[in-house]
Structure formats: structure tokens, C-alpha cells
């Protein structure tokens, strides 16, 4: 999987490599922002900063995909895609993979926590059930 590094998103990948899930937070109005962008979508302030989160949350929606978007994922089917709301950032939703779980474990409300998978030179944040 290709991971694009640019100045706007670099903090996210650097934090992941350090074992943290950092999310942009607006210091003017308190809005959490994901995907990263230079201005707050709520108040248009540019006073936004990467902020560490606990990496804990719960599933608010999910889907199973039986189609591999790239050939190297063909052995991973079905892929469980989940939308996670972070405990630290109510209202913010992160779309990610559910890992370390059977597909049948996916459900709305499932408590999850971030985990990091090293792929080549990049570290990918994903979520697993909280046990």
C-alpha cells in the first residue's frame, strides 16, 4: 500500500511510527479534524495542532469487503472496514481496518483501541477489539 507523505500529513505518520495516534485539534474552537487540513472546518482558524489521543474508541459503523483493492490484499479477505469514534474526540470518525478479530466480531458499539502495523518503511494505525 502506498503511503503519501507530505507536510500536511507527515505528523500523522511520524506519530504512528512513534506508537501514537495524533489527530489535529483546533486550539481556537476545540474541533478535532481528520483528515488533516490546514484550517479548521468549523471556525476557519489556522491555529490547529497535532494532539495525542488515547487511541481508544468504539465502532459506529462497519462493512465487510470481499474485493481486494490491490493484489497483495487478496489473501486478507474479507477485509473488515470500520468507522471508529474516538473517546477523546466525540463526533470525530476515523475509517480504518479492524484487525486481530474475526469478521463476525464486528458490531456497532464494539470497544476498540489503536494498534500499529509496520509495512515496509511506514507504520499504519489500525484498530483491534479491546479485550
Using CB under 5 A as the criterion, which residues of the chain lie in contact with Zn ion when the complex forms? 26, 28-29, 31, 40, 42-43, 45
Of the candidates 120, 87, 104, the residue with the CA atom closest to the CA atom of residue 3: 120
Collect all residues with Cβ–Cβ distance below 8 Å to 13 and sequence separation of at least 6: 3, 5, 122, 123
Q: Which is nearer to Zn ion, 43 or 108 (CB)?
A: 43
CB of 36 to Zn ion, least distance (A): 14
Nearer to Zn ion, 40 or 86 (CB): 40
Least CB distance from residue 28 to Zn ion, whole Å? 5
Can you tell me the distance from the alpha carbon of 92 to that of 86, in angstroms, rounded to the nearest whole number? 7
CB of 44 to Zn ion, least distance (A): 7
Amino acid at each position: 500500500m502506498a503511503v503519501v507523505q507530505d507536510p500536511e500529513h507527515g505528523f500523522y505518520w511520524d506519530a504512528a511510527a512513534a506508537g501514537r495516534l495524533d489527530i489535529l485539534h483546533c486550539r481556537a474552537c476545540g474541533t478535532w479534524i481528520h483528515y488533516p487540513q490546514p484550517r479548521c472546518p468549523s471556525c476557519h482558524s489556522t491555529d490547529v495542532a497535532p494532539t495525542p489521543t488515547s487511541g481508544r474508541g468504539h465502532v459506529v459503523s462497519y462493512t465487510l469487503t470481499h474485493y481486494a483493492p490491490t493484489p497483495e490484499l487478496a489473501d486478507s479477505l474479507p477485509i473488515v472496514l470500520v468507522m471508529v469514534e474516538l473517546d477523546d474526540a466525540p463526533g470525530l470518525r476515523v475509517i480504518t481496518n479492524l484487525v486481530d478479530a474475526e469478521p463476525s466480531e464486528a458490531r456497532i458499539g464494539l470497544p476498540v483501541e489503536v494498534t500499529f502495523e509496520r509495512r515496509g518503511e511506514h507504520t499504519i494505525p489500525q484498530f483491534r477489539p479491546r479485550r
